[in-house]
Amino acid sequence: MYIVTGGAGMIGSAVIWKLNNLGITDILVVDHLGSSEKWKNLVNRVFTDYMPRETFLEKIEHGSFPHDVDGIFHMGACSSTTERNTDFLLRNNTEYTKTVIRYALSKNIRIINASSAATYGNGAGGFDDDPTKLETLRPLNAYGYSKHLVDLWAHRSGLQDSFISLKFFNVYGPNEYHKGDMRSVVAKAFEQATTSGKISLFASDTPEYTNGGQMRDFVYLKDCADTLWWLMENKSVNGLFNLGTGTARTWNSLIKALFAAMNQPEVIEYVPLPKHLSGKYQNFTEASMTRLAGTGCPLPASDLEQGVADYVQQYLMRDDPHL
């Protein structure tokens, strides 16, 4: 049996999609659904059982979890980069994650944990996933800090060489529809282009970048799912790694790919960067993929145009846009 925490979320449900494609259905989904629309990400999926996050945490804390587990994909976290309740983030993202990792290691269960590129802050120190450089990182928001604390804990305690942590860069793809403002620009821009025929991007607030020339490492969700499964299978590989494409692309390139996939003319307008993002906006991200490549792990295969076209034409333009 496999456990997928955050299994109703974007990446978690993609993991279940990948498992189902491999014929694996003995899966325990762990999440906190509340009143969100995340449940829709599970409708097309096949799994054995669902367990609320609080129940799961209680069971592993008390050692009363009865199942034989082949692996844990720990994708569960609050992923909102604008969440201001730091106590909640440290409880939900940091301490919860430590508890799950400790449990997995105590039971000799393979575990893959989701970290984040938000740990790199403004990127001034680069995007090298060498764990010896962790102490130099300065996240820009509480979400990134909550993830960074787990990375530091794993490194300082000597545990990181016993499991996998992945610093996800800008993931886009199906099953993100419940995330509201935290959806990828692809999803939000598709909505804009459909209703108004034009797309808004943040104007640059720094002379180093032109409007729409800010750059991110965009990685397609399906490629992430492939990587996660390879790492689950290859148990000799452990450590902290980036998960991106290794190639930064501009927002303008992303939007051009979107308009091409929709077969619409390009109409882009630039709007001022909101004040609450001033000083907290990443103008450039690019994953260093050398260390992950060195393990033999196949790197994400889809370029931006391929990923956007698949997302738009196979999901966003369909009646059911879910995996």
Burial 65-80 (b: 16+ CB within 10 A, else e): beeebebbbbbbbbbb
Residues contacting 144, CB < 8 A, separation 6+: 81, 116, 118, 119, 120, 121
Q: Write the DSSP assignment of 157-170 as a string of letters.
A: TT-GGGSEEEEE-E
Give the pairing type, strands 249-250 and 215-216: antiparallel
Please tell me which residue in 179, 222, 311, 315 is annotated as part of the active site. 179
Distance CA 165, CA 240 (A): 5
Please tell me which residue in 2, 103, 120, 143 is annotated as part of the active site. 143
Tell me whether residue 179 is one of the annotated catalytic residues: yes
Strands of the sheet containing 239-243, edge to edge, are 49-52, 27-31, 2-5, 71-74, 110-116, 164-168, 239-243
Tell me whether residue 147 is one of the annotated catalytic residues: no
Give catalytic residue positions. 143, 179
